[in-house]
Amino acid sequence: MAYRATGRRESEPITQELKVLLVEDSRTYALALSRRLETELQLPIVVCQSLNELHEVVTEDRAAFTLAVVDLNLPDAPRGEAIDFTVQRGIPTIVHTASFDIETRNRIMERDVIDYVPKDSAFTLETVVGTARRALGNRQTRILVVDDTSATRKLLAHMLKVQQYEVIEVASGDEALALLKDDPDIKLVVSDYYMPDMDGYELTRRIRREFASDRLRLIGVSSSSDRMVSVGFLKAGANDFISMPFIPEELQCRIASNVETLEQLEQLHSLASRDALTGLFNRRHFFANAGRLIEEAQAKKRKSAVAILDIDDFKQLNDSHGHDFGDRALANVARCLAQSVEGSGHLLARIGGEEFAILFPGVDAKAAMRLSDHIRLDVSHETLTVGGQQVTLTASIGVAEIDGAGNFDQQLIAADRALYAAKREGRNCVRLAG
């Protein structure tokens, strides 16, 4: 832990690794919180106990801090001067404070801080750590703001950027639809109601025709006092609604809630599409996505190929060395296969037992045979130790070309027949379907 107390020697090195800055005058509280932050965030923590020490540390290493957790009141900074210091230097800041009331809240929210956490419960440490983790995670979330009024759009974008989100701004529904088509990384859309080309309801309906709620969240906003505006957004397919003028805490909580919901849905989809033992895609995911990839290749006038891979003598190895060995063998081969196809665009899955399937979209039989032989060779370098004995793993592979004739099931059967031909011809080889 990079715990830094008053009186740091000038000879101490300044690391280039990003760190979290904790400003807290209570040694006991600072020690407890810094340990929790370091454990949860896996980043070094630098602790300052005064504004004077904060000046020294940040002046020497101003670009090294990815986040600051700052006490509102310090002995030499009783009015939040430490917060002003970190915010003005562009360090994203979370405030924690021992005293809290409306006046304190207003003092804090005058600054561009991520959030504030009162030290008023047994869960304060967990809350600070959770807020810090969320702020760092927000940097992976891209939000699209749609509003034809520049001032409102820029205000909302600024508030979201303070929360560490990546924000894109557009002034119309047409621009929003075009951007969503080209940018699959956008996770959330915040749209105004009154816009000249299409209102927020119509934009919401058009978005929902293309993107389900488990892929893209949508929040409507409006300054209208008509309560039916929120109803209109929700009926059109929005996930939430926020009235303007914005209350920063409400905006923060509603955005965070929708982002967290989307993350939870993505985790559920991942669990449903992954094999528990190997972490590879499962049979259902393979068959659900193979057709689309083949069609995309065919639209470009390109053939595809599919390979079925089977670990040689797996039943015998399993019976001889036990099921734990079999699980290790499957995990090792899966890791090897994943490394072999990483970044290639090929679809890899465990489709049952010791069988794996690889779809090569846009790759003809000759190229697929060459790739499959490289994969076979990679697997043959895998060894496992059991009872002091080294056991070498090998695999047989059958390949079939997909040229648009016949359905995918028939081509899988052809690849399976080629696999059994490889088994008959001595194993640890690749054969092409005739």
Give the residue numbers marked as catalytic. Answer: 354
- Taking the alpha carbons at both ends of the chain, their separation in whole angstroms is 63
| The amino acid at 304 | S
Q: How far apart are CA 319 and CA 336, in angstroms?
A: 23
Q: How far apart are CA 178 and CA 194, in angstroms?
A: 19
**Is-contact 224 193, C-beta < 8 A?**
yes
Q: How far apart are CA 217 and CA 188, in angstroms?
A: 5
The helix (H) or strand (E) run that includes residue 217 is strand 217-222
Please report where in the chains the tokens 């697929």 appear, as a residue: 368
Q: How far apart are CA 311 and CA 397, in angstroms?
A: 9
Q: What angle do CA 180, 182, 185 make, to 5 degrees?
A: 65
> Is the alpha carbon torsion for 161, 163, 165, 170 positive or negative?
negative
For 369, list phi and psi in degrees, rounded to 5: -65, -45
Please report where in the chains the tokens 């804090």 appear, as a residue: 108
**Is-contact 45 73, C-beta < 8 A?**
no
**Is-contact 95 132, C-beta < 8 A?**
no
Q: How far apart are CA 360 and CA 308, in angstroms?
A: 11
Indicate the length of the chain as a whole number: 434
Measured N-to-C along each axis, helices 283-299 and 408-424 cross at an angle, to the nearest 10 degrees, of 110
Q: Two tokens at 340?
A: 């072999």
Please report where in the chains the tokens 């600024």 appear, as a residue: 158
Q: How far apart are CA 378 and CA 360, in angstroms?
A: 18
**Is-contact 76 54, C-beta < 8 A?**
no
- Strand pairing partners for 309? 356, 397
**Is-contact 208 220, C-beta < 8 A?**
no
Q: How far apart are CA 336 and CA 345, in angstroms?
A: 16
